[in-house]
Structure 1
């Protein structure tokens, strides 16, 4: 029965190989799937003829997952960088489009305001010209309000997106911890873990899109995951939980705490990925832009109100601040709160510097010069209102083009990493077709061995 057993071992082994090839072929279009190959081992004992050990056939040593760790790591790191770069570029593009949008440009608002001042200086006693100053001052204030509102809306959307990412990261960490447990159990039972390892790599890639991670691979096929500075995120079957820290009172805060087991600590590393990009946009773009707009609104109101302070209205009455103020603001939120003084009427604009000459336009001359005056407040110190805003637009344009270039480069790197990974691990239909024929021929040949052994046995029986 030696030939039968040997042939049977070949049939069984090649059937496993055929099933493996079929699995590969079925997953030719499955993202993240790693092809598998069968390792055959000759059975060295079990069939003796005339004292000679002819072997016992063949057995499947293992089903091997074809994967190269460095290419897997590179793909994960490229995913993180590409997502960071793309998110940062998208954020800057939205800012650039908003700040340059028609109706929101502060440059046009300043132009109209100072043009109204210049026209009023021709005939300071004209109620029509005075009303025009009030109208354009109100329009300029509303533009500040609108830009501030748009910034807050964009940042609120980013903050909401950030919160969703925190939830997604926690879900991914939990899934990775469960895979760790399952990998360990299946490895102990001798089961194939190739599919679980593919799932692990997919979860790690998805996690890396949201946040930069450090990964240590274990012999079981499981992983340990940590933040870039070593704070644990997954160990064995245990996963950490990220929590937003809004204790500062900032509704858009990107501060995080990480809880692992009973330990709660602040995340003190740059997160990278999509979450890192949102945090960077907040600190590098949104907060500086909002501070500059607040300083512009504060400087505008301060300078204009200073000019009007102590001036005389049409009936010769002198007005002092705050009664003479054209603009009112709320400290700390100047851009969103700036408005014209609701108590002012065209007659009460203190344009005159001389009580006996209500048509005096000297105050308006000072007004007009404000368009060229260097300011002395915060981030606009040493700049005019125009240069502060044009400088902001110029910087945003430069940053956006740079971010676009970096995003394009990161996407190219990601595509290259995917190609390298696939060149090792992806399924090739032509190779699988060739393997299918090879294993099928071997299967049929071993069936022929069994058939031949059966004929020999029948011939032997007929001799008696």
Structure 2
């Protein structure tokens, strides 16, 4: 009789195992469309062999755990590529804004306005005493200086937008690390009570993917499923402890610090890296280049203009006032009196050597050449960033397809598992039924 009851116990364990298997299958099917969900599989093992006077017998099957089907290398690569994609995406967007600003293919583009200004002096050289041509010189000069100021202000505007975006991204990091710390505590609690941490691990992984776009994270999971995260040499999350980040300004540069140990993050990639690099480097460099371009225009034009004579016989007049892109303007003296525009080198009204000299600056390396090099450089950098972003997107798509193949839920496979566990349940129930009939038969013999 004890042997028969052992068979019932073994079948009962099989029923329990099949029930757990059905629960896991149902859980997989329910989450087939859940972002970041990792397919789970019930792990079964035969129980320890029982030894008795009658020999050895297997005590059935047991559930040893519910395992997630994942490839840690693929998960790590997805985070790494997402991080690079974030780097190039932000870089491409900012470079694109600058490129469209300085390279507008229209009559109001800076390059065209520079040409218009020098063409006006070229026309003036043909008839230095013509008042209408002098009006055109002033008008083209005003249009050019106004465009310089617009570019200068819009570059400052882009810098302000970048700072706002950087502040928003820092806030997102703080929210993410806070949520991950809470998930870590949940994972630890589950682990300590013997409960599965799989679903918590999925939520942590999903948050890690979002976080990796922002900063280049270093990730280490412990046996409980909790994760330790560091970025830029600073620990962001350790168990249920999270470090918040904040911005600090020093000498016009923005730094990212932890608010606990006041350590500076030294980032190498990610959206926040590109934003910080643009604020501290790219945009100030562009402002400096346009300041230099405007300064070159002011100094080169004034150098010739102050050595020439106006129609009123005056000499030493500057055509432009100001020192750079933010302050350049046509001299008020020129605006108020067109006769002060210098066209003559010797004071004769019909002489045009100064006008020709200024007109020849259209081919000057410090003006047109410098402008063309700036436009070419920013265009090249923009294309490289765009190409890199597209490449990383392609790699990311491949990795996510690979992850889906490994960790994603297949309805067909789950249906097969469901049938398998259903048959296991039915067979085990049939065993119990048969043993019951055998016990009844034995008992009837005793009676």
Scaled by the length of structure 2, the TM-score of the pair is 0.91
Aligned-pair distance for 1:64?
Answer: 1.1
Of residues 345, 352, 360, the one that matches 1:361 is: 352
| CA deviation profile, 1:266-324 (whole Å, cap 9, x unmatched) | 22x234111122233445532222211111111111222232326444333x354xxx3
Moved more, 450-459 or 396-405: 450-459
Aligned-pair distance for 1:258?
Answer: 1.9
- Is 1:85 matched with 2:88? yes
Q: Give the equivalent residue in structure 2 for 1:370.
A: 361
In structure 1, what is the Cα distance between the partners aligned to 2:108 and 2:61?
A: 77
In structure 2, what is the Cα distance between the partners aligned to 1:133 and 1:35?
A: 73
Q: Give the equivalent residue in structure 1 for 2:186.
A: 182
| CA deviation profile, 1:359-393 (whole Å, cap 9, x unmatched) | 443332332233334xxxxxxxxx33111111112
Q: Give the equivalent residue in structure 1 for 2:435.
A: 453
Structure 2: unaligned runs, 5 residues or longer: none
| CA deviation profile, 1:409-455 (whole Å, cap 9, x unmatched) | 21222122223322322222222111111000001111112222333
Aligned-pair distance for 1:9?
Answer: 1.7
Q: How many residues align?
A: 440
Q: Give the equivalent residue in structure 2 for 1:297.
A: 294
Q: Give the equivalent residue in structure 2 for 1:327.
A: 320
Aligned-pair distance for 1:40?
Answer: 1.6
Q: Give the equivalent residue in structure 1 for 2:264.
A: 266
Q: Given that residues 2 and 47 in structure 1 are in contact (C-alpha distance below 8 angstroms), is that contact kept between their aligned partners in structure 2?
A: no
Q: Given that residues 103 and 111 in structure 2 are in contact (C-alpha distance below 8 angstroms), is that contact kept between their aligned partners in structure 1?
A: no
Scaled by the length of structure 1, the TM-score of the pair is 0.88
| CA deviation profile, 1:324-347 (whole Å, cap 9, x unmatched) | 332222x4xx21322222343243
Q: Secondary structure at the match of 1:336?
A: coil
Q: Given that residues 312 and 340 in structure 2 are in contact (C-alpha distance below 8 angstroms), is that contact kept between their aligned partners in structure 1?
A: no
Structure 2 counterparts to residues 383-402 of structure 1, below 5 A:
383-402=365-384
Structure 2 counterparts to residues 230-269 of structure 1, below 5 A:
230-248=233-251, 250=252, 253-259=253-259, 261=260, 263-267=261-265, 269=266
Structure 2 counterparts to residues 306-317 of structure 1, below 5 A:
306-309=303-306, 311-316=308-313
Q: Give the equivalent residue in structure 2 for 1:380.
A: none
- Is 1:437 matched with 2:441? no
Aligned-pair distance for 1:191?
Answer: 0.5
Q: Give the equivalent residue in structure 2 for 1:410.
A: 392
Give the CA RMSD over aligned residues: 2.4
- Is 1:340 matched with 2:343? no
Q: Given that residues 39 and 69 in structure 2 are in contact (C-alpha distance below 8 angstroms), is that contact kept between their aligned partners in structure 1?
A: yes
Of residues 279, 282, 285, the one that matches 1:285 is: 282
Q: Given that residues 180 and 223 in structure 1 are in contact (C-alpha distance below 8 angstroms), is that contact kept between their aligned partners in structure 2?
A: yes
Q: Give the equivalent residue in structure 2 for 1:376.
A: none
- Is 1:7 matched with 2:11? yes
Aligned-pair distance for 1:29?
Answer: 2.2
Structure 1: unaligned runs, 5 residues or longer: 374-382
In structure 1, what is the Cα distance between the partners aligned to 2:426 and 2:394?
A: 47
